[in-house]
């Protein structure tokens, strides 16, 4: 049993993995990961905790049976990229805005309020989203993540092998595998550095928050005082869920 009293369950479902967190009194008290849609893993994670609310954010293909299972377990709030948000977004196509990116924006604004923040999520894709000190989302960038880069070079060539990028990776490489690893890892790191430098020229005092599966690897290599927050997306989903259901002023579009 984690703490006392009812808890809120927040689920961030990706194409292959599902991140889970229990929140009590507004704070994450436990977290874990499992295969997407694995209800048995979710039940083991919840254990004996009484769940009074579930929040779901998913970028995976719809899974009606899993959604029905959640609805039968507790009141369910489903967050999408077009859900009401405490952050005003300038995104021109909210219907195509990924819920993970919306959650990162909300999480960044909650984590570092009244400050310009660049939220970087390093997963299957690398996403960058800029929130200014007035909690306005200015849009972002999407590019291939580490493994997508490595797989693309292998898939779209006749002889290049598939490499698993990891640190440390020499620069320059001295054989084909090292060259591929160097291009994959250091190419992404230089991209990250370049975008950070670009937005820091525009926003004095810009904070940078990394999240996603490759965030720790990148942070160790960047070494520039960047925040790493593995629960940023889950915290953002929690904030969006409460904003979505709370009475008050009209939400930002």
Q: Yes or no: say if 108 and 203 are a contact pair by the CB < 8 Å rule.
A: no
- Residue of 12, 38, 63, 100 with catalytic role: 100
Report the length, in residues, of the chain. 253
66-122 confidence digits (pLDDT tens): 999 999 999 999 999 999 999 999 999 988 999 999 999 999 999 999 999 999 999
Q: Does 1 score more than 50 pLDDT? A: no
CATH tag, 94-236 = 3.30.420.40
With 0-12 / 13-18 / 19 or more C-beta atoms within 10 angstroms meaning exposed / middle / buried, residue 249 is exposed
Q: Where are the domains of the chain?
A: 7-79, 94-236
* pTM, to two decimals: 0.90
**pLDDT of res. 149:** 96
Measured from the Cβ of residue 242, the count of other Cβ atoms closer than 10 Å reads 16
Residue 100 is among the residues annotated as catalytic for this protein: yes
pLDDT band (50, 70, 90) for residue 3: low
Mean predicted confidence (pLDDT) in 21-33: 95
CA atoms within 13 A of residue 84's CA, in its CB half-sphere: 12
> What is the CA angle 30-31-34, rounded to 5?
145
Over the chain, what is the mean pLDDT?
A: 92
How far, CA to CA in Å, does 129 sit from each of 62, 87, 110, 146? 25, 12, 14, 18
pLDDT band (50, 70, 90) for residue 4: low
List, in sequence order, every beta strand (DSSP E) within the chain: 7-13, 17-24, 27-35, 51-58, 76-79, 88-89, 117-122, 125-131, 136-144, 207-211, 227-228
Fold of the CATH domain 7-79: Nucleotidyltransferase; domain 5 (3.30.420)
In this chain, the answer to whether the domains covering 7-79 and 94-236 adopt an identical fold is yes
Residue 209's beta-bridge partner residues?
A: 119, 227
Q: Yes or no: say if 52 and 42 are a contact pair by the CB < 8 Å rule.
A: no
What six digits make up the tokens of 234?
Answer: 């889950």
Q: Does 253 score more than 70 pLDDT? A: no
Q: Is 82 helix (H, G, I), strand (E, B) or coil?
A: coil
Q: Does 251 score more than 60 pLDDT? A: no
């Amino acid at each position: 049993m984690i703490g006392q009293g009812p808890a809120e369950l927040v689920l961030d479902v990706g194409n292959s993995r599902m991140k889970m967190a229990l929140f009590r009194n507004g704070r994450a008290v436990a977290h874990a990961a499992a295969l997407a849609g694995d209800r048995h893993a979710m039940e083991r994670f919840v254990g004996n905790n009484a769940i009074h609310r579930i929040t779901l954010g998913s970028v995976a293909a719809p899974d009606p049976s899993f959604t029905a299972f959640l609805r039968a377990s507790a009141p369910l709030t489903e967050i999408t990229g077009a859900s009401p948000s405490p952050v005003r977004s300038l995104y021109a196509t909210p219907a195509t805005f990924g819920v993970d990116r919306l959650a990162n924006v909300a999480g960044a604004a909650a984590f570092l309020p009244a400050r310009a923040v660049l939220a970087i999520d390093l997963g299957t894709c690398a996403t960058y989203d800029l929130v200014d000190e007035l909690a306005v989302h200015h849009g972002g960038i999407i590019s291939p993540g580490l493994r997508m880069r490595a797989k693309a070079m292998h898939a779209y060539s006749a002889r290049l092998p598939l490499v698993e990028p990891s640190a440390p990776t020499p620069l320059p490489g001295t054989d084909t595998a090292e060259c591929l690893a160097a291009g994959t890892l250091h190419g992404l790191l230089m991209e990250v550095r370049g975008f950070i430098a670009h937005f820091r020229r525009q926003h004095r005092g810009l904070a940078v928050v990394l999240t996603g599966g490759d965030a720790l690897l990148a942070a160790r290599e960047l070494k520039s005082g960047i925040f790493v927050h593995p629960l940023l997306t889950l915290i953002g989903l929690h904030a969006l869920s409460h904003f979505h259901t709370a009475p008050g002023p009209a939400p930002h579009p």
